Amino acid sequence: MDTRTGERAIEAVIFDLDNTLTDFMRAKDNAILAAVDAMIDAGLRLDPEEGHRRIFEIYRDKGIEYQRIFNVFLQEQLGEVDDRMLAAAVVAYRRARDGTLVLYPHAMLTLNQLLKDGYKLAVVSDAPRFEAWIRLCSLRLQHMFDLVLTFDDTGQRKPSPQPFVMALQRLGVSAERAVMVGDWPERDIVGAGAAGLHTVYARYGDTYNSEDRAVRGPSGAEFEIDDLLQLLDVLEVLNGTREEGDA
């Protein structure tokens, strides 16, 4: 790949964070299991599988980043919020989440190569700003990116094109010279495509909202990858140094 940025088509790569760089849903699942067990140990009479299922139902209704999930759950179960059970759940959740949040295979290798090749790197996430930075710092990614934009920064969630437009403006890059990588077609791919970016669907991370992907059809992205390392091949195609059939 020609690393002289002035001579290639792509200048910037924008990533979604959760389920694109980080295996967020595995960490979330483990954290919820730990929280349910902690509430049971604190005296809550509950079938663990039922508790796990109901908490995820609340997340689907309120949003996966909903911060008062255990308050709502305990109110449902007990008719009130028991502070001892709530504290036990929160502590267990945080310990399990922090202990199991990991990068996807080859993510660090890919990011380091992109930095070496001189690409501008950004994150555009619907997560709250502080939670996004907690995850980035936990994974030692806080210095990797030229820009990190969250819902708190943009005021709009994907698939609105506005977060992507804002990212392009701050990076100083035109849409046709930027690539968006994300796991959620209806948000990441639609939003980035509407803003004019090239799009890459991270198929490996589409586990939470896309269980019926085969029924709903193709992702709509220009490229689809099963490993983040394949992004390097995609960039070579877009930069004209590799044939598309070889990516």
Rounded Cα distance, 160 and 61, in Å: 20
For residue range 159-191, what is the model confidence (pLDDT) as tens digits?
999 999 999 999 999 999 999 999 999 999 999
For residue range 73-130, what is the model confidence (pLDDT) as tens digits?
999 999 999 999 999 999 999 999 888 889 999 999 999 999 999 999 999 999 999 9
Tokens 């209806």 belong to: 186
Q: Are residues 120 and 221 in the same domain?
A: yes
For residue range 221-234, what is the model confidence (pLDDT) as tens digits?
999 999 999 999 99
Q: Are residues 151 and 182 in the same domain?
A: yes
Predicted pLDDT of residue 4: 47
For residue range 2-25, what is the model confidence (pLDDT) as tens digits?
444 457 899 999 999 999 999 988
Domain boundary among 70, 100, 130: 100
Q: Are residues 12 and 64 in the same domain?
A: no
Q: Are residues 82 and 127 in the same domain?
A: no
Predicted pLDDT of residue 12: 98
pLDDT of residue 194 exceeding 80, the answer is yes
Q: Are residues 107 and 12 in the same domain?
A: yes
Q: Are residues 185 and 114 in the same domain?
A: yes
pLDDT band at residue 63 under the 50/70/90 scheme: confident
Q: Are residues 118 and 237 in the same domain?
A: yes
Q: Are residues 42 and 152 in the same domain?
A: no
- Higher model confidence: residue 66 or residue 181? 181
Domain boundary among 100, 121, 141: 100
Domain boundary among 83, 100, 117: 100
Predicted pLDDT of residue 211: 53
Q: Are residues 227 and 159 in the same domain?
A: yes
Q: Are residues 121 and 85 in the same domain?
A: no
- Higher model confidence: residue 165 or residue 1? 165
pLDDT of residue 213 exceeding 80, the answer is no
Q: Are residues 226 and 174 in the same domain?
A: yes
pLDDT of residue 71 exceeding 90, the answer is yes
| Mean pLDDT, the chain, whole residue set | 91
Q: Are residues 183 and 119 in the same domain?
A: yes
Specify the CATH number for the domain of residue 183.
Answer: 3.40.50.1000
Give me the number of domains the chain comprises.
Answer: 2
Specify the CATH number for the domain of residue 59.
Answer: 1.10.150.520
Domain around 50 = 26-100
pLDDT band at residue 206 under the 50/70/90 scheme: confident
pLDDT band at residue 212 under the 50/70/90 scheme: low
